[in-house]
Every structure is written in C-alpha cells, then in structure tokens.
Structure 1
Amino acid sequence: MRLHCEVEVVSRRLPALGLRNPGKGVRALLSLCQQPAPRSPPRPPAGRAGAPRPACLLVSTLRDKRGTRYEQLKGNIEQFFTKFVDEGKATVRLKEPAVDICLSKANSSSLKSFLSAVRLAHRGCDVETPFSPLTPVKTSEFEKFKTKMVITSKKDYPLSKNFPYYLEHLQTSYCGLVRVDMRMLCLKNLKKLDLSHNHIKKLPATVGDLIHLQELNLSNNHLESFSVALCQSTLQKSLRRLDLSKNKIKALPVQFCQLRELTVLKLDDNELIRFPMKIGQLTNLQFLSAARNKLPFLPSEFKDLSLGYLDLFGNTFEQPKVLPVIMLQTPLTLLESSARTILHNRIPYGSHIIPFHLCQDLDTAKTCVCGRFCLNSFIEGMTTMNLHSVAHTVVLVDNMGGTEAPIISYFCSLSCYANSCEMLK
C-alpha cells in the first residue's frame, strides 16, 4: 500500500543536542511493506504456517528512490495525530527511532485508509490491503504527484492517460479544444486553470465543482456567455482572477456579481453592450479591463467600485441625453410596492418561495441615488462621471485624452430627481 504526500521527518532528540530540524516537507511516496524474510528461516512445525513477517514503513523521495526504512511497526508507534486528517494532514510518532513522521498534502480518503492499515500493523493484526514491495520507487511513480502541467501544443495533449490527480496548475493552450475536457473537472486540487487560445464555445456548469479554483483563464476562445450556474457555484468563494478577453460575449448575467472574491477581471475585445447592473457588489475588485467593446454607458452602481486599475478604452460611449426618461407610476402598483418593501428590508427570497420571474425582477431592480430601490416606476437620467473617482489608474477612454464616461442614474420619485437635478446639468 502506498500514499503520495509531503513528508517531513522530525527528530525529537535534536533539540536536546542544540540542533534544529530542517523544518521543510518534501514530496514523497510512503509505502507500507513487509520486512524481507531471513536467508535461512527455520522450518515451521508440520501443519503450521510460519509467523507473518513484521511490517515496516518506507519513505521514498525523488532524490532517494531506495528510501528510508523504519523497521518493526508492531508496538513501535507511540501516537497518531489525526486532528487535521480531513485536510490531508497527520503525524505518526515512532518510539524508536524517536521521530515524528509528519504527512501533509495527501488525499484525505487515501490518508485515512493508509493510517488505518498502519494502525493494524502497529497492533500486530492482519492487514487486509496488500503490502508494497521493498524495491526502489520508479521515477514514473512521482509523475503522478505533479502539481503543475503546461501543454502548449496539440501533439502533447494527453489522450490515452489521465491528468495527474494532484495537479494544482493546469495550462492547455493552443490545443484546439472545442469543449472543456471532463477529466479536468476531476482535479479537485486545481487552483489555476488556463484554457486560453482554444475554440471553446460553452462552459459546463461542473467547472463550478472545482472548489479550490482561484484563477481561470479563458481568453482567446469562442465563448458567447458566462452561465448563471457558474455564478452561483462554489466559485463565489474561491475565484480571484478571471480572464474572458477576446471572446464573443455580449452581456454578463446579473448573478455574475455574486463572484464577490474577484480581484482581477479582464473582458477586453468582446462584444459587451452592458455591464451587470449590480457591478458595485464586486467590492474586492482591483483590476478591471474592458477595452474595445460596445459599451454605450455605465450602470449606476459602477460608481460604488473602488479600483486600482481601470481600462475602458475603445468603447462606443454615447453622449449624455439632455432630457430624462420618465417612467413614474401613480399610484404605485402592488408589484412595485411589494418589490420595494422586500428589497428595502432585505427580506430573503427565492424560487422556492415566489415564482421565478418575480425573482428575476427583484434581481434586476434599479438602485435610486438615494439608496432605495425601484422596479418599473422610475426616472432615468444620464450624466458623465470622471473615472478617476472610482480608480487610481485610468487608461484614457479615447484618443482625445478623456477620462470621463456616461453613467445611468435612476430616481425612485420626483422628489429624488428634483434634489439631484444639479448632478444632471
């Protein structure tokens, strides 16, 4: 039985000698083996099988493929430390030699099975899983433990074998992929996925099952949308950097703003005609680039952003309209009044409580300059804003040296509009 993990062997006697442990784990292959049989073993009495050979622990690394052997596990383990076993961490404390074998970055289920077998060997019980041979480990065994793989040509793309299970960084660019390979979605340790320069048209919702994914690069593909399912997946808690540049995306769903851990968002060279209305909810966003799109104006909540870098060069921004668009309703409809109450009081809602189309209405409600909400009864006005008010570094929006862009503003009542009319001049 073998376990891929990082191993640090800590001697408990070094501090008494005034020495320090190295303090760093290395990639290793941990094997549960049986000690070799003696050269001239005594013959067992007739009708009896010989006593089983004692188990030992073998720690092999890429530098030391023969490995370090820890003999006689039976009765030789002082303690197991398994508090963080679900995180792939554990420690086996041996009596002799006086060392702690610290394990980390292991698959949690494999680690539990391995510790269970070691515990049986310590008690002198029969171990049901087969023992590993006491032979030097092959280099190919460590290939399974790779954490980074970069493929930049179609001929190097693996067709007959799986990706290493422990990958944390995978790049497959210029491989002609037309869809996301489902084998990638089994890489539960993946933190960075780069699928740039392919021909991918659609993302499967199961990309959201990569619970540790922090960076996703989909630039230079044929994407036309970013699905609501991905916006409502575990990517909400993990995704930090997203590159969707050089695709064919026309709009992002309003639920996109639920990806609130985003710090970097690249949308250059798409066909965007609008930003999500709730973009101000991306409170962690520091880098936003959406150059060379078809944005006519910015949504009202854009002014709630606080960016370090902003690039909106080459968009088709319109000139602000002189007259506002008045859509006020008097008296307010029951739908309008109810929607405003729900949103103002932050009452939870969902498709399991109210019809789905009403949820969509609430999700796309407009925010008045006073902070209240409006659905179908509002006044719409347009003005310009200096982009330096939301970003420290701003790329000019045009070749004329401008840093101003048109922004939509909404007013829930005539009094709100009257109080803000100076802003619209």
Structure 2
Amino acid sequence: MRLQCDVELVNRMLPSLGMRSKGRSSRAILSIGKPNHNAGAGNKSVPNSSGLYLLICTCKDRTGSKYKLKENVEQLFTLFVEEGKATVRLKEPAVDIRLSKQFLTVARLAHRGSDPIGITPLVPVATRHLDAARTRMSILKRKDYPESGFPSALEQLTISTCGLIRIDPRILSLRALRRLDLSHNRISSVPEALGSLRLTELVLSSNCLCSFSDKLCRSNLRDTLTLLDLSQNQLTRLPPRLAQLHRLHTLRLDQNQLEALPGQLGRLSRLRCLSAGQNQLSALPNGFSQLRLDTLDLHGNPFKSQSDPPLLQISLPLTLLELSARAVLDHRLEFSPALVPWHLCEDLEFSGVCVCGRACLFSFVRCIVSINLHNVSHTVVLLDSLAGTEAPIHALFCSLACYYDHLDQSVQRRLR
C-alpha cells in the first residue's frame, strides 16, 4: 500500500534538549508492508513475519526510514481527519508522524497485529516516483533543463540564466504551480495561457518583454497574484486593466521605458510595495494619491517641473449619463454587460477620481499638480540628489468648485 502526500516528522525529545522542531513538511511516498531479509541460497527475498512497518521515502532519503507498527502505536490523533490531516504517535522512537487518513485504518490493524489484505513487502521507492513528488525545482544552467518534462506536483519553479526565448508550454500544465521565476532569460512575450494557472508570484525580470497582455489581467491571476516583477525589460506601456489584479502586494517596474502608469493604479488597495524607477515617467496618473504604500521608488524619471495649462471639459448642467454614472461609482453599485451596454462598462471601469474622492466620467477639469510622495508611502526613495519627494500628478476635478478650492489652497500654502 502506497500513498503520496506531505509528511512531517516531529521528534518529541527535542524540547527536553532545548531544541525546536523546524515544523516543515516534505513531499514523501508512504508504504505499509513487511520488511525483507535475505534467505541465503539464491538470495531470495522472504517476507519477515515480525509485523508490519511504515516506510517513508523522500527526495533526501530515497532508501526510506522504517518504523515498526505492531504494538508500537501510542495514539492516533484524528480530530482533523475530515480535512485529510491525522497524526500517528509512536512509542519507539518518540516521534509523531503526520499521515493522510487513508493510512489510518491499515496502521490501526497493524498495531493490533493483523495483516490487512493486499500488503506487499517493503521496497525503496523508485527515483522517478520521488521526482514526481517534488514541489520545488530550480534550474540555473541550460544543461540541467529537463528533457522529459516537469514534475506534476511542482509548486515553485525557477528557471534562470538559461537563455530561454519563450515560456515552455509544458509549464502551462503545472496546475499546482504557485511561484514561477523566469528571470534573466530572453523571453519576449508572455502567452495568454499562463493566466490559466493560479500563480501567487510571477517574476519576469531581466528579459526582453515589450508588452504584458491585457487578457492576463482578466484571467485567474486577477484573484491570486500577489507579486509581479517586470523590472529590467523593454516595456513602453502597461495594460489599462492592470488594476484588476486586485490582490497585488508588490509591483516592480524598474528599468523599463514606461512613459505612463495605468490610470487606475490607485485602485490597488492591497498594494504595499511599488518600484518604477529609471523609466520615462513625466507625471503620475490620476488616482495615484489613493495608494497607501509601505515603500515607493520612483527615482530616475524625467518628471515635469512645470504644469501644463488646465483642460476644462465641463458641461453644465451635468448630463443624465454623467449623473447616473457618478451615482453608480460613488455608491459602488455592481455593473456588467448584462445590466448596461458594454461600452458604458468600459467607461465605468476607466473612470477618473476627483481630488475630493468623487468619480467623474466625461465632465471634469484636468491639470497637473504637485504631490508629496510621503502622503502616499511611509518610505520614499528620493527622486533626485536634492532630496526631492515632490512629484507631478494628473489631477481631475469633478466641478469648478473643487478646482477653485484647490487654487485657493495652493495660494494659501505659498503665502505661508
């Protein structure tokens, strides 16, 4: 009987020695059976009748460790057995073995001295079976690149400095993959099929990317991705729907050729670390001041020193479309193509935000104002050698009243 699962061995003697268990589980193959011994002539393998043993084989211990079960099980912990978690406490050695629930029935019978049907002699697990159970793989040389494919249980995969020019299609079938690092290669495009994976971290730094697909922002990555690293590429723009990756915590865009950041970037409420240094940014997008970051790096960008004349796009009185759209956005009402025309959904998704916090669609005043980056982030990398933390931002005003209030406040700050 064999089972592939995560196993954690806890030595109960460690606390008495002032030591602490690492508390890490590893992928293993478990077997319950009888040990073999050589019977002399012919060197035949004869099963030993001394009882059943549990064999645990891992990638680090391929021959496996055997544990006697007959009259050696002190207690079975099955409180969380419905969740697939259980623990077998042995008398000798003093260890706790966390097993899958399929093993519990056989382990209980073995402890009582019974021989369940279908038990076979214990033999070490084949290498190919252990490789299939691997959850982490790091490939740093071209010669180490696997020709036969990747283990299906991989959760973390790193392929770096291997000269890849495209993403291997076999990676797209790794349904358990959560972290993918393809940095320091020559990849020029990201396939849309990558969005079928439920990645939490995607690292594509130091490649030759010229674009990042808008469809990736509407894929499974929208609900899972927390870290996105696109630094040191050749990006000139980012998809407008990047803000739909609403679980992003860390976004790295350094050393590209970006001329602007997505206008809805301020909607990333969970974003805490943003770096976009050494690009071609002239001003920050509207809504940027809504971010609440821990660290912010925008150094090395040619920000404008003077603002352009304001653009007045005000219609008085406001149209019914503008009023209804503002009401939907301000009250956070749901909208979809099933409720409103699809082109209006596009307008609602890419709407702007006034400095007062209200939404505005077609009627607004736009101008470039200055913002102190310490109002956005706790830690700010200086923009220049003059200890500057002031940066220009495209600001929208939902009405002339908001615009004139901003002018009055600016005059008062100057007088101070």
TM over 0.5: yes
How far apart, in 2, do the equivalents of 1:356 and 1:63 lie? Answer: 58
2:191 & 2:82 partners in 1: Cα distance? 31
Instruction: Give yes or no for the alignment of 1:321 onto 2:307.
Output: yes
Residue 98 of structure 2 corresponds to which residue in structure 1? 102
1:421 is matched with 407
- What SS does the corresponding residue of 1:338 show, helix, strand or coil? helix
Corresponding residue of 1:91: 87
**Amino acid in the other structure paired with 1:101:** I
Query: Match for residue 263 of structure 1?
Result: 249
Give the equivalent residue in structure 2 for 1:42.
Answer: none
Distance 1:98 1:267 in 2: 51
Q: 2:172 aligns with which of 185, 202, 206?
A: 185
Answering whether residue 274 of structure 2 is matched by residue 288 of structure 1, we say yes
Distance 1:421 1:26 in 2: 61
> What's 1:339 paired with?
325
Q: 1:359 to 1:311 in 2, by over 3 A?
A: same
1:298-331 deviation line (CA, Å, top 9, x unaligned): 1232122233332222323234435310111123
Alignment of 1:387-406 (within 5 A): 387-398=373-384, 401-406=387-392
Aligned length: 395
The 5 A counterparts of 1:6-25 are 6-8=7-9, 24=23
Change (3 A) 1:241 1:84: farther
Q: Supply the AA of the counterpart residue of 1:255.
A: R
Counterparts of 1:26-175 in structure 2 under 5 Å? 27=26, 28-33=28-33, 57-60=54-57, 62-63=60-61, 65=63, 67-71=65-69, 81=78, 83=80, 89-92=85-88, 101-103=97-99, 126-127=117-118, 133-137=121-125, 141-159=129-147, 161-175=148-162
Q: Which runs of 5+ in 1 are unaligned?
A: 40-52, 104-110
Separation in 1, partners of 2:366, 2:179: 42
- The offset of 1:72, in angstroms, is 6.1
Paired amino acid for 1:102: R
**Equivalent pair of 1:10/1:102 in contact (CA under 8 Å):** no
Q: Is the 8 A contact 1:372 1:412 kept in 2?
A: yes
Separation in 1, partners of 2:228, 2:120:
43
Task: Evaluate the alpha carbon distance shift between residue 158 and residue 299 of structure 1 in structure 2; reply closer, same or farther with a 3 A threshold.
Answer: same
Distance 1:140 1:313 in 2: 49
Relative to 1, partners in 2 of residues 1:412 and 1:148: Cα closer, same or farther, differing over 3 Å?
same
Contact 2:4 2:133 in 1 (8 A): no
Conservation of the 8 A alpha-carbon contact between 2:276 and 2:297: yes
Equivalent position of 1:243 in the other structure:
229
CA deviations 1:112-147 (Å, max 9, x no partner) are 7666887999997755xxx66422345665444444
Q: TM-score, normalised by structure 2?
A: 0.78
Does the CA-based 8 Å contact 1:55-1:71 persist in structure 2?
Answer: yes
Q: What SS class does the counterpart of residue 321 from structure 1 fall into?
A: coil
1:2–1:266 Cα change, 3 Å: same
Q: CA deviation at 1:158?
A: 1.0
Give the whole-Å Cα distance in 1 for the aligned partners of 2:345 and 2:400: 27
Counterpart amino acid of residue 300 in structure 2: G
> Displacement of 1:332 after TM fit?
2.5
Change (3 A) 1:296 1:81: same
Corresponding residue of 1:366 = 352
CA distance in 1, matches of 2:189, 2:17: 57
2:288 to 269, 284, 302: 302
Say whether the 8 Å CA contact 2:155–2:178 is kept in structure 1: yes
Counterpart-to-counterpart distance in 2, 1:243 and 1:324:
35
Amino acid at match of 1:414: L
Q: Is the 8 A contact 1:170 1:194 kept in 2?
A: yes
Mapped contact 2:69–2:110 kept (Cα < 8 A): no
Counterpart amino acid of residue 6 in structure 1: V
- The answer to whether 1:222 aligns with 2:208 is yes
The 3 A distance-change label for structure 1 pair 324 and 92 is same
Pair 134,337 (structure 1): closer, same or farther in 2 beyond 3 Å:
same
Mapped partners of 2:409, 2:120: distance in 1: 76
Is this contact kept in 2: 1:320–1:384, CA < 8 A? Answer: no
Render the CA deviation track for 1:200-248: whole Å, top value 9, x for unaligned.
233234434443x333210122323333443344434543322101223
Are the structure 2 counterparts of residues 99 and 385 from structure 1 closer, same or farther at C-alpha, using a change threshold of 3 Å? closer
Q: Is this contact kept in 2: 1:168–1:192, CA < 8 A?
A: yes
